[in-house]
């Protein structure tokens, strides 16, 4: 959360009021305490600016308060978390999202990626992982719990229908610099870190990423990293 000059404005969306209350309590703990107890640096901390108990309420609240971050439950009555995110697609550029789930199948994981979700976290994860996910997502990274990585990789393989060894030799005509940028994306680097590494502006990095997305056919950083792994686009994967 480098460069943030105010607390991150958060909306919590879950149909269980007790779970929302627990999240709200965790997010209102002073940053210094979070750093001391959980060893995670959260900058200026968080400001919970709204809550919702259904997908419909989620859409309404987010449109009203325009938070920086939405923590949204996968399973909610009348409109699921994924359906709510589809409704909120016009706000995708300004809204970071972390999907919360008790369990999640591969189809929903893939849908979450397609909808541009920035993070996926299981509800039985530790508090440390919650803060790590939030910090990573707010830094421009994509975050998926380790227990979900294999399922997501399998879902992506199904989506792309790999054709064997020849498929892994595709280069998509990436330039050497684009391949360097892709390597750092796969390593989990944010745009600012990539810019510092190559001594260029973040706008230049964004330009490279746009060209890479267009060439590879990826919709976001997480999908790009998965496709890089599947297609053999980065030598050390």
What residue ranges define each of the domains in the chain, with the CATH number in brackets?
8-154 (3.40.50.2300), 163-231 (1.10.10.10)
Average pLDDT over residues 123-146: 86
What backbone torsions phi and psi does residue 100 show, to the nearest 5 degrees?
-105, 140
Residue 193, pLDDT > 90, answer: no
Alpha helix positions (H), 8-47: 17-27, 31-38
Each residue's pLDDT tens digit, 6-19:
899 999 999 999 99
What backbone torsions phi and psi does residue 147 show, to the nearest 5 degrees?
-70, -15
User: Residue 139 has what pLDDT?
Assistant: 85
In angstroms, the Cα distances linking 42 to 4, 36, 63, 175 are: 10, 11, 25, 36
Torsion of CA 63, 64, 67, 69, to 10 degrees: -40
């Amino acid at each position: 959360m480098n460069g943030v000059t105010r607390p991150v404005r958060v909306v919590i969306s879950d149909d269980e009021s007790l779970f929302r209350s627990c999240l709200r309590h965790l997010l209102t703990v002073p940053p210094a305490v979070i750093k001391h107890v959980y060893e995670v640096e959260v900058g200026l901390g968080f400001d919970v600016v709204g809550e919702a108990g259904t997908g419909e309420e989620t859409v309404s609240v987010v449109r009203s308060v325009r938070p920086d971050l939405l923590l949204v439950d996968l399973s909610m009555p009348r409109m699921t978390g994924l359906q709510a995110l589809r409704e909120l697609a016009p706000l995708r550029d300004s809204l970071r999202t972390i999907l919360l789930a008790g369990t999640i199948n591969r189809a929903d994981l893939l849908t979450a990626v397609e909808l541009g979700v920035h993070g996926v976290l299981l509800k039985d994860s530790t508090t440390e992982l919650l803060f790590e996910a939030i910090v990573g997502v707010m830094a421009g990274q994509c975050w998926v719990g380790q227990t979900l990585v294999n399922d997501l990789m399998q879902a992506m393989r199904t989506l792309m229908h790999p054709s064997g060894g020849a498929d892994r030799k595709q280069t998509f005509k990436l330039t050497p610099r684009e391949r360097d940028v892709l390597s750092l994306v796969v390593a989990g680097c944010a745009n600012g870190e990539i810019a510092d590494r190559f001594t260029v502006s973040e706008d230049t990095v964004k330009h490279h990423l746009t060209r890479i997305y267009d060439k590879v056919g990826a919709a976001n950083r997480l999908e790009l990293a998965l496709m890089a792994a599947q297609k053999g686009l980065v030598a050390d994967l």
